[in-house]
Amino acid sequence: MKEMDNVKNWKQMVTPFLNSKAEELHLMGYNQATKEDVWDCLVERVWKGHPDKRIYEVVADIMHLNSSIYLSYLTVKSYENDDLKTSIAALLNT
């Protein structure tokens, strides 16, 4: 087994943990949480890209993802989506 690898290469192997974290977030009231959102949150907030990590580090990061970090990620994502919608609407109205 590989010692260290880029986190994106571990994604398929850690899918059960991503699903588990999404289910945990559902229990906390974040019903829109998906394994993809959890992964994207980790990439953008915890790992800041695609660093090299050992698999146990990736699993630990998934299982220790704090709901406040996830909420912050969703908030920023929501603002980015709103800005895009506003920009498109402004372009269409001119």
d(CA 54, CA 56): 6
pLDDT of residue 1: 55
pLDDT of residue 50: 83
d(CA 14, CA 55): 8
DSSP 8-state assignment for residue 29: T
Q: Write the pLDDT tens digit of every residue in 57-94.
A: 999 999 999 999 999 998 888 877 776 666 566 556 64
Where helices occur in the chain by DSSP H, the ranges are 7-10, 15-27, 35-41, 55-63, 67-93
Give me the chain's average pLDDT, please: 88
Check: CB of residue 59 under 8 Å from CB of residue 14: yes
Check: CB of residue 61 under 8 Å from CB of residue 46: yes
Q: What is the pTM of this model?
A: 0.82
